[in-house]
Every structure is written in structure tokens, then in C-alpha cells.
Amino acid sequence: MRYIGLMSGTSLDGVDGVLIDIDDGGALKLRGHRHEAFVASLRDELLALNSPGGDELHRAAVAAQGVAHAYASVVNALLFDSGTVARDVRATGAHGQTVRHRPDAGYSAQLLDGALLAELTGIDVVCDLRSRDVAAGGQGAPLAPGFHAAVFGHAEDTRAVLNLGGISNLTLLAPGRAVTGFDCGPANALLDGWCQRHLRQPFDDDGRWAASGQVHAPLLAALLAEPYFDLPPPKSTGRDLFNMSWLDARVAGVAAVDVQATLAALTVESVARDLERHAPQTAALFVCGGGARNAHLMRGFAQRLPRMRIGTTDELGVPVDQVEGAAFAWLAHRFIQRLPGNLAEATGARGPRLLGALYPGQ
Ligand SMILES: Nc1ncnc2c1ncn2[C@@H]1O[C@H](COP(=O)(O)OP(=O)(O)OP(=O)(O)O)[C@@H](O)[C@H]1O
Ligand SMILES: [Mg+2]
């Protein structure tokens, strides 16, 4: 069966769409990938909606339509490029744009007008994938570990999968043990934000700007003093905590380039500490997400974790920018099969749950 997965993460860079085939045995074949950036006005509004502001109900409803249009554009491109017609796609798994992640308050809010996406594409839309896990007492995140286990798990090797999106998250795959995963801390959300402010570029290409600065040890220590880093899993986070105001409250007196170097070091150090604490036996770390394209970060992991083999998911057959999209296609498949999508060990939910809500395409 053919599925589409659509992800737009906390980096707010745009939408990654993946077309995959899943056979009866659960084996996956990647059939297409498309990335489209958000238009600047939608991106700015989605970023603004991450913080409290006026007229939120109306603005959120309009932005949710904007997300549906952006998603539909990716779906139509995937169909066109692969010569697929809508009726041949069983369902689209669509994440939506997180604007508040508050499992502590009983919700995680993703903006997406699922009815409009179904109307625009004629394909069943499975969305709102986090709420049921939160309703069952979970964090609603991370949801990728089940997919990571299905495609990256190994019978003998202890592996970890590290997604470097706006936030970093780890999945721990140890043979014979329950699969777990959690958010480590900030990654591209702050690296991009600082770079946009000081270089007027969307991101620090290859981490070159960060590489040209010096890590500011007192700042790194101050950032690492954030209590989130020491919370035991299950745990998840987002722009609710790790945003530019969080950074601004701590950077006084440090040169901009050194802040960028320190943010890169923070990304590496927070993940490395989590691996040492929770999975010291890990033999290989496979990185995915846009941060895997940041050579400075990848060098940082290799230096900080010399005994670990550091690679990317490209080596395991799933290109780094397709993993999260494919995970949401897989989650749509789980929903259609009426199988649970969450791993209670990772999210902290009371048990496995069927994730998602359906907007029929026809
Ligand atoms: N060549 C590159 N050099 C440095 N950073 C890069 C490069 N290419 C991509 N990136 C980073 O990757 C980010 C996009 O990554 P990605 O799409 O995985 O994040 P995301 O949308 O937040 O996803 P998610 O929340 O699902 O993990 C960009 O914003 C940028 O920071
Ligand atoms: Mg992205």
C-alpha cells in the first residue's frame, strides 16, 4: 500500500513530504521526496503563534489553512513526480505545525486544517497524531521511535538514532530491551534563530559560522544549567522552552560568533550526556534531520564521542531528510491497520494507543 507522510518541524523551514510503499510484511520502499519551504508570511505567522498574542483563535484557524495549502502543494508534487494518482494512495499521515507543546497542561497543539487537506488532495488524511497519547497520560512525543525501531533496529548492535531538527531527539535501540526515546534539547531552532538575527541567513550553512567562533565555557555552563537537561525521561520539549527569549536571557556580553559556536557545542554536549547517562553501551549513532547536513555538528559528535561509530541514516537506506516524513507515513499505516503508533516507554503513556484522527478524502 502506498502512503504519504508530511512533516514540518520546529525548525519552521518548511514541509518534507515522502511517498512510500509498505508491503504486507511491513517492508518499506521510498518512492519520492519533496521539500518545499514555507512562504515567509506563513512562516512568520507560525513562529509568532508559538508565543501568546492577540486574536489567536482566528489567526490559528487561518494559519492552519495555510499549512494545509503548503501540505497539498507537496502532495501534488509527489503524485506528479511519481506518476501516482490520488486514489492509489491509501492515506496521508500529516503532522501539522506545532505551535504549543504542553503535555503538562494536557495538550499538544499542531495547526493543520485536515478537512481542507482532504478536500484539496482527495486522499484520506490522518492527522492530530499526538493528542491520544497525551490523553493517555503521555508526552505525545517522540512518535518516531516506533518507526526507527521498525527500520533501523538491529538484532545484535546497540544503536541510537539522533534526529537533529529544531529540537534534538534520541531513539535508543538495544537488542532485547524496550525501545525508548526522548527529546534532548535545542538543535536547529536556536542555531537558526541566532544566525537569522546576526547573518540574515536562514541557517548556518555547514556550521561554518559556528566553526569560526570560540566556545564560551561560562555561557555553555549557564545554558546546560537549564533543569530540563537533567530531567529523567520520558520527556519532550519545544519552542515553549527553548526559544530566543530563553537564549537572550543568558547571552549578555558574549560575541555573536561565539554564541553560535556555543550553541553548536550545547547541541553536541546535551546529546552526548544523554547517551552517556541512558545508553552508555551504544556502539553506533545514526544521525538524521537537517542537522546531519551540518558538518561542524557532525565533527563535534565524532570528537565528543570517540568510541562511538558516528554515521547518518543514509547508510541505513533512508536519507536524512526523509526519516521524519517517512515516520508519519508509517504512522498513517499504523492507523489504517488499527495498530498502535506510540511506544509507551518513550512517551510515558499508560499504554499503546491508536494515534490519529481521520478526514476521509472522498
Ligand atoms: N547544509 C546545512 N548546514 C547546516 N544546517 C543545515 C543544513 N541543511 C539543513 N540544515 C538545518 O536543518 C534544518 C531543517 O531540519 P529539519 O527539517 O530536519 O528540521 P525540522 O523541520 O525541525 O524537523 P523535526 O522537528 O521533524 O525534527 C534547517 O533549518 C537547518 O538548520
Ligand atoms: Mg523541516
Q: Is 345 exposed, middle or buried (0-12, 13-18, 19+ CB in 10 A)?
A: middle
- Give residue 110's pLDDT: 98
**Residues with pLDDT less than 50, the chain:** none
To which residue does cell 541557517 refer? 203
Atom of ligand 1 nearest to the CA of 202: 29
φ, ψ of residue 270 in degrees (nearest 5): -65, -40
Verify that 312 and 335 share a domain, yes or no. Answer: no
Answer yes or no: is 353 within a domain.
Answer: yes
Assess whether the C-beta atom of 207 lies below 6 angstroms from ligand 1. Answer: yes
Residue 341: closest CA among 182, 143, 171: 143
**Protein residue with least CA distance to atom 25, ligand 1:** 9
Verify that 100 and 167 share a domain, yes or no. Answer: no
CA 334 to chain centre: 19
Q: pLDDT digits over 50-105, tens only?
A: 999 999 999 999 999 999 999 999 999 999 999 999 999 999 999 999 999 999 99
CB 126 within 8 A of CB 358: yes
Assess whether the C-beta atom of 260 lies below 6 angstroms from ligand 1. Answer: no
Q: CATH number, domain at 295?
A: 3.30.420.40
**Protein residue with least CA distance to atom 17, ligand 1:** 290
Assess whether the C-beta atom of 293 lies below 6 angstroms from ligand 1. Answer: yes
Verify that 261 and 151 share a domain, yes or no. Answer: yes
Residue 90: strand pairing partners = none
Q: What DSSP string describes 198-240?
A: HH-SSS-GGGHHHHTS---HHHHHHHHTSGGGGSPSS----TT
User: Cα(176) to centroid of ligand 1, in Å?
Assistant: 32
- The reply to whether omega before 52 is within 30° of 0 (cis) is no
Verify that 210 and 234 share a domain, yes or no. Answer: yes
Query: Domain residues for 352?
Result: 2-137+328-359
Answer yes or no: is 323 within a domain.
Answer: no
Atom of ligand 1 nearest to the CA of 14: 21
Verify that 217 and 346 share a domain, yes or no. Answer: no
Domain count of the fold of the chain: 2
- Give residue 282's pLDDT: 97
Handedness of CA 302, 304, 306, 309 (dihedral sign): negative
Verify that 265 and 338 share a domain, yes or no. Answer: no
- Give residue 46's pLDDT: 98
Q: pLDDT digits over 222-240, tens only?
A: 999 999 999 999 999 999 9
Assess whether the C-beta atom of 324 lies below 6 angstroms from ligand 1. Answer: yes
**Protein residue with least CA distance to atom 12, ligand 1:** 290
CA 342 to chain centre: 15
Assess whether the C-beta atom of 330 lies below 6 angstroms from ligand 1. Answer: no
Answer yes or no: is 257 within a domain.
Answer: yes
- Give residue 345's pLDDT: 96
Verify that 46 and 158 share a domain, yes or no. Answer: no
Assess whether the C-beta atom of 213 lies below 6 angstroms from ligand 1. Answer: no
Model pTM above 0.85: yes
Answer yes or no: is 322 within a domain.
Answer: no
Answer yes or no: is 100 within a domain.
Answer: yes
Assess whether the C-beta atom of 183 lies below 6 angstroms from ligand 1. Answer: no
- Give residue 260's pLDDT: 98
Answer yes or no: is 321 within a domain.
Answer: no
Query: Counting ligands in written order, which one lies closest to the CA of residue 320?
Result: 1
Verify that 179 and 257 share a domain, yes or no. Answer: yes
Verify that 302 and 153 share a domain, yes or no. Answer: yes
User: Cα(175) to centroid of ligand 2, in Å?
Assistant: 30
d(CA 138, CA 143): 11
Verify that 202 and 307 share a domain, yes or no. Answer: yes
Verify that 173 and 293 share a domain, yes or no. Answer: yes
The residues near 238 (Cβ < 8 Å, ≥ 6 apart) are 10, 98, 101, 166, 167, 183
Verify that 133 and 153 share a domain, yes or no. Answer: no
